[in-house]
Structures are given as structure tokens and as C-alpha cells.
């Protein structure tokens, strides 16, 4: 199993290219199921989750072809074609390993009139139910049946009649499944209290490019006029705002001057505002975002919230950055009940963090010290890398497969700007 070794103390300077967004890619890929024509996605990140999603689509009858990108290039182009859907089930084994697999539910139902997915169960960051995904499909006219850990959605006569769902809380995943199910509905579908994340806008833009009519893109009310004549498209995945924010936190704590080329500041205002409040210099320009810091940071009070609020996916990385701020920060996690699994690991490196209910108080310390650490999820793993960049001695980050799910060639990107970081393979 691979490990990543970080020796702290280096400032970072240079350029980091920002990859295509993982969270966007994983909702654009299943759109291939909506049409028998080819869908070409550009700027797809090279990540384990994208490969796994491709394998799931293959099992459903969708072919995937990667165009000849050179190994040294970041990103790649994939053409998907679901000429005929040959299976309508996402089995437990796959959903268990990759929660995003539940995003085949909406498009499979829309295309084949029936879809079965395994209920995902809990995960490292919380309970994460899918009841809102199911309620949305039901509201659009699907008949639902749950047996033996699987849920089946069926559309009478093959197509959903349409309808309206008012979500009681904002859910990114449920909004995505609802949008894809609505894309081929016979009547109008309305989503109230829809998620407004940039990845939702990316999904809407692809569906529009495929022939669906959507009003209210980027707002909390989406009105979708479905069509059974969806066609193929070529579409470029948006830049990864979480990857860009993570590297900005790395520069914040380590000090230095780094250009995040390809990042889109418009998608990242809450993150950029928080960085500025902490004392990091952030300059938005035409090609990306330039971040510079002398490593001297002030404390913050932050609470996670749906977009345009401060993203839950940035909480762990900010916490790592604030372990060395001058003063006490308070971070409150409102989206997931158990998203502080990085706290004990950061504490082993010398951080002073106390969790009380949904909030964590982070008191800045003068020094962090490298240690063997491991995390149970993707963003938590990144927080350990960020802390490792300033820790004295060596930080040995285990369970690197979490990082490989969401950061395209992390160690290459960080060592190119001066970090002392390497991947070690034990096998
Ligand atoms: C969430 C984040 C997203 C992040 C992703 C991975 C939000 C709003 N969503 O998306 O930014 O990229 O995790 O870290 O910040 N819920 C239900 N029933 C459901 C679905 C969700 O009760 O059927 C609840 C969840 O438990 C959670 C909230 O709604 O408290 C938001 O969840 P949701 O947006 O659906 O989660 P993801 O799509 O995984």
C-alpha cells in the first residue's frame, strides 16, 4: 500500500494547474445513460473515483473510451456511449465503495423506465441517507419499492409524468438525481430548495447542451422540461474548486506565492473570503488565482453551509491551516454530524483542538511535529498533508487511496512548487 511522506518547512512557490472537478465529473458521467448518442467529456480528472464510475457504467451497457492523452498530461477526454442500456442495477459492492454510484438512479430510471440501487449505508463522515433522492423521484411519479437493502424505482409506461419536489433541506446529491430523472420526463418537473452548488450548474449546462430545457439554473427553483430526444454532446468539466481551495490553504500555512492556474474565483468566493480574513493575499485574475502568504495567520470563525456558504468539503483543510494561526478559531460543521475524524490525527501532530458537539475550537500552536497519521476520508487526508507541510520532521500519511480518489497527482503538483513530498510504495 502506498504512503506519502512530507518533510515540513519549505515555502511554496510557482504554479499549480487545477484539474477538472471530481464532484462535477461524477454527476456528468451518468448523463451518458440518458441518450444513445455519444457524450464526450473533456478535462476529466485522472482519479480512482472516475475510473470506478466508468466501470459501473460499463456494467450497465455504456462503453467508455479514453482518448490518447499522454501520461504526463493532467486531465483527459472520455467518450461514453450507452447505445443500449443492458442492466439497470447498481449493486451493493460498488455503491459501498463509491457513494456517488447512487447517481445512476435518476438517469437509469429516466432512460430505461426502471432502476435499482443498493442503499449505501453510512460512511466515515456521517449517516448520509438518500431519502430525499427517493422522495424526489416519487414526486415526479416513480413507484418505489425497497427490499433486502435495495431500492427500485419504476416509471409506469416507461416515462415519468413529472411533478414537484420541495426539498426540506438542501441536498446536492438529491438535486442531481432529480435533475437527471426529470431530463426525460413527459411533463414538467419543478425542484424547490434546489442545491445551487457550481457542480449543479455544471450538470444543468450539460443537460441543456443535450437538449433539455431548464429554467432557473443557479437558483433554488429549477423547472425542467424533459424530452425523449436527448442527444450527445461534447462538454468540458468545470475546474475543481475544492482542489484549488486545498492548495490555497497549503500556501496559507506554508507561506510562499503560488498561482492556481485554471481555478475559477467566481465558484470560490466563500473560500477566498475566509483566506483573506485569515491574512492570506488572494489575487483573482483571468487565468486563475494567485495566493501568497508569509505564513502568519489570524484566527477565523467559520460555519459550513450549502453554496454560496462555506463548503463542508473545505472544513478539514481550513482546520489544518488554522492550527498555526495566532489565536483561537471556531469551526462549526452543519452538514455532516461526524466530520471531525481528522481532529485526533492533527492532535497527534501537536495541534490543540477541542470538539464540542458540532463545533471545534482550534487554538493556534507555535509548532507542529511530524508523525505517522492516517485519515478515514478524502478531505481529512488532505488536511494531514497541509499540516505536514509545516510540521518539523517527517509526516507519514497512510491510506493514500483516499487522496487518490480526489486529488490528481497531489505529490507531483506539490513538489513542483517546492514541497518536500514523495509517494512511497511498500508493495
Ligand atoms: C455533500 C455536500 C457537498 C459535498 C459532498 C461531499 C452540501 C449541501 N453538500 O453532498 O457540498 O461535496 O457532501 O463531501 O454541502 N440528506 C438527507 N437525505 C438525503 C440526502 C441528504 O437527509 O436524501 C442530508 C445529509 O445528511 C446532509 C445534507 O442533507 O446533512 C446535505 O447532504 P447532500 O448535499 O445530499 O450530500 P452530498 O450530495 O453527499
Q: Which atom of ligand 1 is nearest to the CA of 127?
A: 26
Same domain? 167 vs 57: yes
Answer yes or no: do 211 and 263 share one domain.
no
pLDDT of residue 125: 62
Of 205, 221, 236, the residue that ends a domain is 236
Nearest Cα residue to 189 out of 200, 171, 177 = 177
Instruction: Confirm or reject: Cβ of 38 under 6 Å from ligand 1.
Output: no
145 in the same domain as 32: yes
Q: Compute CA distances 317 → 36, 180, 384, whole Å.
A: 41, 31, 8
Cβ–ligand 1 distance for 406 under 6 Å, the answer: no
By CB atoms closer than 10 A (0-12, 13-18, 19+), residue 71 is exposed
Helix H or strand E segment including 30: none
| 52 CB neighbour count, 10 Å cutoff | 17
**All residues at 6 or more sequence positions from 300 whose CB lies less than 8 Å from its CB, including other chains:** 274, 277, 278, 318, 322, 325, 329, 330, 331
| 123 catalytic per annotation | yes
Same domain, 247 and 393: yes
Which pLDDT score, from 0 to 100, does residue 376 have?
Answer: 83
Q: Which of 123, 189, 204, 249 is catalytic?
A: 123
Q: Among the three residues 208, 236, 264, which one is the final residue of a domain in this structure?
A: 236
Measure 171 CA to ligand 1 centroid, in angstroms: 5
Q: Whose CA is nearest to atom 5 of ligand 1?
A: 313
Distance, CA of 176 to CA of 29 (rounded, Å): 12
Let me know whether 264 and 387 are in one domain: yes
Distance in Å, CA 335 to ligand 1 centroid: 7
Residue 281 and residue 299 share a domain: yes
Q: Note whether 213 and 313 are same-domain residues.
A: no
Residue closest by Cα to atom 21 of ligand 1:
171
Is any atom of ligand 1 closer than 6 Å to the C-beta of 43? no
Which range of residues forms the domain containing residue 125? Answer: 22-236
Which protein residue has the closest C-alpha to ligand 1 atom 4? 313
- Do 168 and 283 belong to one domain? no
pLDDT per residue of the chain (427 residues) written in tens, 0 to 9: 899 999 999 999 999 999 999 999 999 999 999 999 999 999 999 999 999 999 999 999 999 999 866 777 778 999 999 999 999 999 999 988 899 999 999 999 999 999 999 988 666 666 678 999 999 999 999 999 999 999 999 999 999 999 999 999 999 999 999 999 999 999 999 999 999 999 999 999 999 999 999 999 999 999 999 999 999 999 999 999 999 999 999 999 999 999 999 999 999 999 999 999 999 999 999 999 999 999 999 999 999 999 999 999 999 999 999 999 999 999 999 999 879 999 999 999 999 999 999 999 999 999 999 999 998 889 999 999 999 999 999 999 998 999 999 999 999 999 999 999 999 997 6
User: What's the CA-to-centroid distance between 207 and ligand 1, angstroms?
Assistant: 22
166 and 93, same structural domain?
yes
> What is the b/e burial string over 161-180, where b = at least 16 CB atoms within 10 angstroms of the residue's CB?
ebbebebeebbbbbbbbbbb
Give the largest Cα separation in the chain, rounded: 66
Q: What is the reported pLDDT for 41?
A: 97
CATH code: domain of residue 348: 3.65.10.10
Which residue, judged by its Cα, is nearest atom 29 of ligand 1? 171
Domain shared by 324 and 269, yes or no: yes
Q: What is the distance between the alpha carbons of residues 188 and 100, in angstroms, rounded to a whole number? A: 26
Q: Are residues 222 and 254 in the same domain?
A: no
- CB 42 less than 6 A from any atom of ligand 1: no
Closest atom, ligand 1, to C-alpha of 173: 38
Q: Are residues 169 and 308 in the same domain?
A: no
Considering its fold, how many domains does the chain have in total? 2
- From 236, 256, 291, the end of a domain falls on 236
Amino acid at each position: 500500500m502506498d504512503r506519502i511522506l512530507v518533510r515540513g518547512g519549505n515555502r511554496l512557490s510557482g504554479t499549480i494547474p487545477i484539474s477538472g472537478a471530481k464532484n462535477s465529473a461524477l454527476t456528468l458521467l451518468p448523463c451518458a445513460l440518458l441518450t444513445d448518442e455519444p457524450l464526450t467529456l473533456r478535462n476529466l480528472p485522472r482519479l480512482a473515483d472516475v475510473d470506478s464510475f466508468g466501470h459501473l457504467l460499463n456494467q450497465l451497457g455504456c462503453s467508455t473510451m479514453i482518448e490518447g492523452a499522454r501520461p504526463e498530461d493532467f486531465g483527459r477526454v472520455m467518450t461514453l456511449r450507452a447505445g443500449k442500456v443492458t442492466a439497470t442495477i447498481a449493486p451493493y459492492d460498488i455503491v459501498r465503495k463509491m457513494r456517488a454510484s447512487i447517481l445512476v438512479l435518476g438517469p437509469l430510471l429516466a432512460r430505461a423506465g426502471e432502476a435499482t440501487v443498493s442503499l449505501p449505508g453510512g460512511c466515515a463522515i456521517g449517516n448520509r441517507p438518500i431519502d430525499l433522492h427517493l422522495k424526489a423521484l416519487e414526486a415526479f411519479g416513480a413507484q418505489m419499492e425497497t427490499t433486502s437493502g435495495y431500492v427500485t424505482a419504476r416509471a409506469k409506461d416507461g416515462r415519468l409524468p413529472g411533478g414537484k419536489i420541495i426539498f426540506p433541506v438542501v441536498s446536492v446529491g438529491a438535486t442531481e438525481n432529480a435533475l437527471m430523472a426529470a431530463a426525460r420526463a413527459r411533463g414538467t418537473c419543478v425542484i424547490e430548495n434546489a442545491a445551487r452548488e457550481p457542480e449543479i450548474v455544471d450538470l444543468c449546462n450539460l443537460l441543456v447542451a443535450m437538449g433539455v430545457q431548464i429554467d432557473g439554473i443557479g437558483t433554488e427553483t429549477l423547472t425542467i422540461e424533459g424530452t425523449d430526444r436527448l442527444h450527445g454532446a461534447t462538454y468540458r468539466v468545470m475546474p475543481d474548486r475544492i482542489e484549488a481551495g486545498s492548495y490555497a490553504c497549503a500556501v496559507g500555512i506554508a507561506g510562499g506565492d503560488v498561482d492556481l492556474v485554471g481555478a475559477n474565483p467566481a465558484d470560490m468566493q466563500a473560500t477566498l473570503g475566509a483566506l483573506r480574513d485569515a491574512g492570506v493575499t488572494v489575487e483573482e485574475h483571468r487565468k486563475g488565482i494567485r495566493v501568497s502568504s508569509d505564513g502568519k495567520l489570524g484566527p477565523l470563525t467559520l460555519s459550513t453551509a450549502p453554496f454560496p456558504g462555506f463548503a463542508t468539503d473545505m472544513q478539514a483543510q481550513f482546520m489544518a491551516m488554522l492550527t498555526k494561526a495566532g489565536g483561537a478559531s471556531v469551526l462549526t460543521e452543519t452538514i455532516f454530524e461526524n466530520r471531525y475524524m481528522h481532529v485526533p490525527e492533527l492532535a497527534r501532530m501537536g495541534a490543540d483542538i477541542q470538539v464540542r458537539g458540532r463545533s471545534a475550537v482550534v487554538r493556534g500552536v507555535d509548532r507542529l511535529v511530524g508523525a505517522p497519521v492516517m485519515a478515514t476520508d478524502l478531505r481529512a487526508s488532505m488536511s494531514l498533508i497541509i499540516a505536514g507541510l509545516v510540521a518539523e520532521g517527517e509526516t507519514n500519511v497512510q491510506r493514500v487511496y483516499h487522496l487518490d480518489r480526489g486529488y490528481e497527482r497531489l505529490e507531483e503538483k506539490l513538489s513542483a512548487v517546492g514541497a518536500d513530498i514523495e509517494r512511497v510504495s511498500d508493495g
